[in-house]
Amino acid sequence: MKIKVVLGGEAVNIPKTEIGLGVAFIRVWVDGNGFTSASNQIGSLGFILLETPEINVGEIDEERQRLFTELHGRVVNWNIKPNLFVKDGGIARFGMSISVQQDGGLVDRKIEFVADSCTGISVVSNVLDFSCEMLQEAKTLAELDNQQIIPDDVIVAAVDAAPAVEANA
């Protein structure tokens, strides 16, 4: 199974409160099928624009193969832990889980993988943890041929526009 992810988002504290407010968009391609979604629960303060290379996660069991290649209309729980990086050299650990009904309860089916050589910018304070309903993209949008999605000039603009990182005193 091959997976590629593009993620963008930003979260800040509401002034004079400890309440964070954030938004994120995500696009994922699983074995050539593209899916997209957005969330308002990014789960971490900061700014991120991240693109992974195509990752081969190996062979997985038939049930997870079916679940993760047919994401349209499914709620996916994302857990993403990126390092701090600017432009390239990013490393991120991904967890994707889908809850399924089994014996009167919910059971999570999960895929985990690590992506290195990511491009973009990551200045987030914690793990990104959010859920969203995935929607299938048109096949013409999903056909990648292992191409870079985010152009270099967009990455440079995002780096330039990213909020300044304050050092802890």
On whether residue 166 sits in a domain, the answer given is no
pLDDT by residue (tens digit) across 59-88?
999 999 999 999 999 999 999 999 999 888
Q: Are 86 and 118 in contact (CB under 8 A)?
A: no
Distance CA 164, CA 17 (A): 19
Please determine, for residue 168, whether its predicted confidence score (pLDDT) is greater than 50: no
pTM: 0.81
> Which residue from 39, 54, 45 is spatially nearest to 17, judged by alpha carbons?
45
Rounded to 5 degrees, φ, ψ at 146 are: 60, 35
Residue 40 has a pLDDT of 87
On whether residue 163 sits in a domain, the answer given is no
Residue 130 vs residue 20, higher pLDDT = 130
Residue 144 has a pLDDT of 59
pLDDT by residue (tens digit) across 53-66?
999 999 999 999 99
- Read off the tokens for 2: 């091959």
Q: Are 47 and 121 in contact (CB under 8 A)?
A: yes
pLDDT by residue (tens digit) across 147-162?
677 777 777 777 777 6
The mean pLDDT value of the chain amounts to 87
Distance CA 126, CA 36 (A): 23
Find the radius of gyration of the CA atoms of the chain.
16
On whether residue 116 sits in a domain, the answer given is yes
Residue 29 has a pLDDT of 93
Residue 69 has a pLDDT of 92
On whether residue 7 sits in a domain, the answer given is yes
The helix, strand and coil proportions of the chain, stated in percent and rounded to the nearest 5, come to: 15, 55, 35
Residue 165 has a pLDDT of 55
For 152, the domain range is 2-158
pLDDT by residue (tens digit) across 88-126?
889 999 999 999 999 999 999 999 999 999 999 999 888
In Å, what is the CA distance from 68 to each residue of 29, 55, 65, 82, 98?
A: 10, 14, 6, 22, 8
Number of domains in the chain: 1
Contacts of 74 (CB under 8 A, 6+ apart): 67, 98, 133, 134
